[in-house]
């Protein structure tokens, strides 16, 4: 009832706007932000977007609002060749860029306010108070190290030195969706600011378990953040941030899939399945500016505590109900020193260290305990020389050395009559040392136009499988790649249109592939693979009122050599990788100049996902599909009322599909959803 009341109120208010008089246009808070005012700080060198020799995309707070991106998974396909699927719960939140990714271990790096997120289970984090998202595609191992073969995503929340006051948002939508969030930004002085924010989010669930007669995927989520940021006249800058999130969700809406008709049945299994997760993240960043260089320290800590309970056979029979718990404590420390001025020769040197300890317990007919400590140390250098040989030509050289040590202590207990008996015990260690170079050339025609070519080594560490049926399945090797890329950035019509084009080829060795086994999933290594493709991004601010965006990514990722047992998958497409990503969007602001309304903004986005295969045999696939989203925003000073809709055409598609024995199970994509959001600032 609340939703329909708010909807009716908004429609009535729209009718009243037609009879209002004009006011001073200077009072309208809508402001055109020039497209060329983008500085990428995540690159560890403060450079303009147009000076970076890489394929880079940026989502500003204005773009996030226009596109109604409120969950991190919503960024999927907004960026060329970026795919962030929904696989049933936060536990499985893989990211794919340019065909590089994995369901079990991350191949794309994620940093939030400079703090690394190592585990895929924490990738689907809360988006409250996010100010900017930066995506760098292609291997970023030189500056960011292990497990960044696909690229790096840097997320920045709002700076309390730039914002002040109180803001509040309330969303009500179908499927019982409700969301309440608030934040306060204050200042102790002009140089010291602080902020607090919190959010509560709930939905009744989108899919029904026919056997239990209840929703599969209802969800409760709370999040809170605190931030203290300061600067001094002496050159010291600091940021301390702490975030906590708790999620209690049902999950795994997997129904039987008919391979002949393509129909996905409703979930129909006998035990309620769920996932609970608590994540605490804290970080301290300090930087000091000396006369000739800048010294920076980033200290991070993250604690993950979760529990998965899953009916693993997904049938009405009581065959396999598995409970898995995991606790992780992750510490990281980075020291960086870089040149201060943007002179002919610029450089950055760094030291990165981490320590992570993970404890997992899997309870089924037996109890399996895993203790997995790991630690690593890395040294890196990157330098750029401008006007090399000829004017406007620059060369960048990067070098990194990673050293890592992993350990797994494994125990399996037999359970009988409530008593545990140690059945077997294994201990093992693995060591990894890797050198990753990078070389790029770039030609800067002027401050707005450039072209570049880059060769980069990619690296992803090996490790231990949690589930295995034989000794040779217990571990998997590292994977490596060479990435070759050419591209350019072009600005036209006095900066009103900006484009970014890149072509890439990735030569891939020992690709890590996930496989279903009776006790879970494992990673194995393919022989050789490749990924090649193209990316195009266009942004146009044609007038102060009209904004258009277009992005397109094409990826062909295949196995060159891959033998798994008696099966030969050589020449097949890599599973879970869409052939294409497409986004076409735009917004238009209607200025009313009235005392009742400042402006009304209409925005819409079409996103498309290309054909993808669900297994190495390429036996089942999901064809190209697209979804249409839209939003109408009414703004009066500090009050905004949004009407939004997602998946307008209620497009049916498989978001995830897997094989279990001789049967296939699939998860449907989310249906049409719509709602209203009211937000205000004081």
Q: Mean pLDDT by 10-residue block, N- to C-terminus, for the chain (682 residues)?
A: 36 34 34 45 65 87 90 90 88 89 88 90 89 91 86 93 93 96 95 96 95 94 96 94 96 92 93 95 95 94 95 88 94 94 88 95 91 95 91 94 94 87 91 94 92 94 84 88 95 91 95 79 88 96 92 96 90 95 95 88 96 94 96 94 96 92 92 96 90
* Location of structure tokens 């050419």: 486
**Confidence at residue 606, expressed as pLDDT on a 0 to 100 scale:** 97
The total domain count for the chain is 1
**Confidence at residue 10, expressed as pLDDT on a 0 to 100 scale:** 35
- Whether residue 314 contacts residue 660, with contact meaning beta carbons closer than 8 Å, is answered with yes
Alpha carbon distances (Å) from 649 to 186, 203, 223, 627, 674: 43, 21, 32, 7, 12
Question: In 3D, which of 503, 550, 557, 493 has the Cα closest to residue 529?
Answer: 557
Report phi then psi at 144, rounded to 5. Answer: -115, -15
Full domain range(s) for residue 641: 2-681
**Confidence at residue 20, expressed as pLDDT on a 0 to 100 scale:** 34
* Location of structure tokens 């941030």: 241
- Whether residue 504 contacts residue 98, with contact meaning beta carbons closer than 8 Å, is answered with yes
- Whether residue 659 contacts residue 516, with contact meaning beta carbons closer than 8 Å, is answered with yes
- Whether residue 617 contacts residue 651, with contact meaning beta carbons closer than 8 Å, is answered with no
**Confidence at residue 16, expressed as pLDDT on a 0 to 100 scale:** 34
How far apart are alpha carbons 34 and 597 in whole angstroms?
24
Cα 102 versus chain centre, distance: 13
**Confidence at residue 38, expressed as pLDDT on a 0 to 100 scale:** 52
CATH of the domain at 186: 2.40.170.20
Cut 0.85: pTM above it: yes
How far apart are alpha carbons 629 and 649 in whole angstroms?
9
Burial bucket for residue 157 (CB in 10 Å: 0-12, 13-18, 19+): buried
**Confidence at residue 2, expressed as pLDDT on a 0 to 100 scale:** 37
């Amino acid at each position: 009832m609340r939703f329909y009341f708010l909807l009716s109120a908004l429609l009535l208010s729209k009718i009243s706007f037609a009879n209002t008089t004009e006011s001073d246009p200077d009072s309208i808070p809508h402001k055109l932000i020039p497209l060329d005012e983008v500085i990428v700080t995540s690159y560890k060198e403060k450079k303009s977007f147009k000076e970076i020799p890489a394929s880079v995309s940026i989502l500003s707070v204005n773009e996030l609002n226009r596109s109604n991106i409120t969950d991190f998974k919503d960024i999927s396909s907004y960026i060329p060749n970026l795919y962030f699927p929904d696989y049933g719960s936060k536990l499985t939140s893989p990211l794919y860029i340019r065909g590089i990714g994995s369901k079990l271990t991350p191949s794309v790096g994620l940093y939030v306010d400079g703090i690394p997120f190592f585990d895929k289970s924490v990738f689907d984090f809360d988006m409250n108070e996010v100010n900017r998202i930066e995506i760098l595609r292609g291997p970023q191992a030189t500056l960011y190290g292990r497990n960044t073969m696909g690229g790096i995503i840097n997320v920045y929340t709002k700076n309390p030195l730039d914002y002040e006051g109180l803001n509040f948002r309330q969303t009500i939508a179908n499927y019982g969706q409700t969301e309440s969030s608030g934040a306060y930004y204050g200042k102790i002085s002009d140089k010291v600011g602080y902020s607090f924010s919190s959010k509560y989010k709930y939905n009744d669930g989108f899919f029904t378990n026919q056997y239990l007669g209840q929703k599969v995927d209802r969800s409760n989520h709370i999040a809170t953040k605190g931030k203290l940021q300061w600067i001094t006249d002496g050159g010291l800058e600091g940021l301390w941030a702490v975030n906590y999130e708790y999620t209690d969700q049902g999950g795994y809406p997997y129904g039987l899939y008919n391979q002949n008709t393509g129909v996905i049945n409703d979930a129909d299994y006998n035990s309620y399945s769920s996932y609970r997760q608590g994540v605490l993240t804290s970080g301290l960043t300090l930087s000091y500016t000396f006369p000739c260089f800048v010294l920076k320290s980033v200290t991070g800590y993250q604690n993950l505590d979760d529990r998965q309970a899953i009916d693993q056979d997904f049938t009405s029979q009581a065959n396999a109900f598995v409970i898995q718990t995991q606790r992780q404590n992750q510490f990281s420390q980075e020291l960086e020193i870089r040149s201060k001025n943007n002179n002919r020769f610029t450089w950055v040197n760094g030291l990165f260290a981490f320590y992570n300890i993970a404890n997992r317990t899997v309870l089924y007919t037996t109890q399996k305990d895993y203790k997995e400590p790991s630690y690593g140390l890395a040294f890196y250098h990157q330098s750029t020389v401008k006007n090399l040989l000829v004017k406007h030509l620059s060369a960048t050289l990067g070098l990194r050395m990673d050293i890592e040590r992993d350990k797994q202590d494994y125990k399996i207990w037999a359970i009988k009559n409530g008593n545990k008996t140690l059945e077997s015990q294994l201990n093992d260690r693995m060591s990894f040392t890797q050198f990753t170079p990078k070389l790029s050339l770039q030609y800067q025609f002027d401050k707005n136009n450039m072209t570049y070519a880059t060769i980069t080594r990619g690296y992803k560490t090996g490790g231990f499988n949690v589930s295995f049926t034989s000794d040779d399945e217990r571990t998997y090797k590292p994977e490596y790649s060479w990435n070759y890329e050419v591209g350019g950035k072009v600005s036209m019509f006095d900066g009103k249109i900006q484009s970014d084009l890149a072509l890439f080829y990735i030569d891939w060795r020992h690709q890590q592939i996930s496989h279903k086994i009776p006790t879970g999933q494992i990673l194995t290594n393919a022989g050789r693979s490749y990924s090649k493709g193209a990316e195009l991004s266009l942004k146009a601010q044609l007038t102060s009122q009209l904004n258009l965006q277009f992005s397109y990514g094409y990826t062909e990722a295949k196995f060159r050599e891959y033998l798994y047992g008696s099966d030969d998958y050589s020449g097949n497409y890599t599973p879970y990788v869409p052939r294409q990503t497409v986004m076409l969007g735009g917004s238009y602001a209607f200025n009313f100049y009235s005392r009742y309304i400042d402006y009304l903004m209409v925005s819409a986005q079409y996103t498309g996902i290309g054909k993808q295969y669900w297994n190495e045999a390429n036996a089942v696939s999901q064809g190209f599909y697209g979804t249409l989203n839209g939003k109408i925003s009414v703004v009066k000073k500090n009050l905004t009322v949004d009407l939004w809709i997602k998946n307008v055409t209620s497009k049916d598609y498989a978001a995830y599909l897997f094989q279990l024995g001789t049967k296939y199970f699939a998860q449907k994509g989310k249906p049409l959803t719509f709602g209203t959001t009211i937000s205000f600032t004081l």
